[in-house]
Amino acid sequence: MQHGKYRFIAGFLAAPLALYALFVVWPFVQSIYYSFTDWTGLSPDFSLVGLDNYARLWDDDVFWASLRHSLLFALLLPVLTIGLALFFAFMINVGGRPRRGAAVSGVRGSSFYKIAYFFPQVLSIAIVALLFQFAYNPESGAINSGLRAVGLGGVQPLWLGDPDLALWCVMAVLVWSTVGFFVVLFSAGMASIPRDFYEAALLDGAGRITTFFRITLPLLRDTIQSGWVYMGILALGAESFAVVQIMTTGPGGPDYSTTVLVLYVYQSAFRDGAAAYATTIGVALLVVTLAFAAAVMRLGRRERLEY
């Protein structure tokens, strides 16, 4: 009956594996194959062209600019977002001054902040991008109007129209719209850290900064790591595409200052009728994403703490 056991287990595994192969593995294989063709995406006929697309990629300044920006997103966005989210979550949950009745508590009004921070999460990224586009309007937008109102009429940046600022404007929107999610995620993580640890630390005379680095951070490590991967995917993928596509000059500009890999894939496939070249850029993006995931996993490898 050993044979029957295999069949039993295989029966369970076959369906999910087949689905995975069909919807995940196979598209990957296909797009890698298309990157060696001259498929336009507008007609079923194409021929194999060898490494032409990759040679073109190598000499394509816009590709390198996109890669640079995507890498910048993947490195900076997680640091900024998770750093801010950790700070907020700590202040909301354990960062308050000791009060009567509870040795460990959040700052005053912490329950309000928790909701306020999460609020952007209920807005779709497209709406967020549109709203910020209005705010960044140099002529009548909220930011420049605000600057004028406080007597800074001389400081009227072009924001999205300035190649030195545009990328940072876009990044700020992504941080704003995602930080709330991580505040909630980390709050939940912190809630599961036993209060005794904090109380013990406080009894030993540890300040807020020390408790954060010695207790909160090490015990949240797993949560932060998964947050990091999630944020990296978001920075390389759909979210960064949406804001760049909706908000920026061109889109992708001014002067290629905000173009990212996903946007370039989209433009090649759906504007230029160069689907094969788009899949080539997609392969490059795949490499970047895998490298990012591998790096995070390697850096984060450690024995699990049980508590």
Write out the residues near another protein by the rule CB under 8 A. 1-2, 4-6, 8-10, 13-14, 17-18, 20-22, 25-26, 29-30, 34, 38-46, 56, 133, 136-140, 144, 156, 158-163, 248-250, 252-256, 267, 270-274, 277
In the complex, the smallest distance separating the C-beta of residue 115 from another protein, rounded to whole angstroms, is 32
Say if residues 171 and 136 touch (Cβ distance below 8 Å). no
CB closer to another protein out of 6 and 307: 6
Buried b (16+ CB within 10 A) or exposed e, 20-51: eeeeeeeeeeebeebbbbbbbbeeeeeeeeee
In the complex, the smallest distance separating the C-beta of residue 84 from another protein, rounded to whole angstroms, is 26
In the complex, the smallest distance separating the C-beta of residue 172 from another protein, rounded to whole angstroms, is 15
In the complex, the smallest distance separating the C-beta of residue 240 from another protein, rounded to whole angstroms, is 18
In the complex, the smallest distance separating the C-beta of residue 203 from another protein, rounded to whole angstroms, is 46
CB closer to another protein out of 33 and 112: 33
CB closer to another protein out of 74 and 167: 167
Q: Which residues contact 161 (CB under 8 A, 6 or more apart)?
A: 138, 249, 254
In the complex, the smallest distance separating the C-beta of residue 247 from another protein, rounded to whole angstroms, is 9
Buried b (16+ CB within 10 A) or exposed e, 139-176: eebebbeebeeeeeeeeeebbbbbeebbbebbbbbbbe
Say if residues 96 and 106 touch (Cβ distance below 8 Å). yes
Three-state SS annotation for 72-87: HHHHHHHHHHHHHHHH
Residue 37: strand, helix, or coil: strand
Q: Which residues contact 177 (CB under 8 A, 6 or more apart)?
A: 120, 121, 123, 125, 128, 239
Say if residues 121 and 112 touch (Cβ distance below 8 Å). no
Say if residues 225 and 75 touch (Cβ distance below 8 Å). no
Cα angle 284, 287, 288 (rounded to 5 degrees) comes to: 90
CB closer to another protein out of 45 and 303: 45
Give the whole-angstrom CA distance, residue 221 versus residue 1: 45
Say if residues 184 and 118 touch (Cβ distance below 8 Å). yes
In the complex, the smallest distance separating the C-beta of residue 58 from another protein, rounded to whole angstroms, is 14
In the complex, the smallest distance separating the C-beta of residue 260 from another protein, rounded to whole angstroms, is 14
CB closer to another protein out of 30 and 192: 30
CB closer to another protein out of 181 and 264: 264
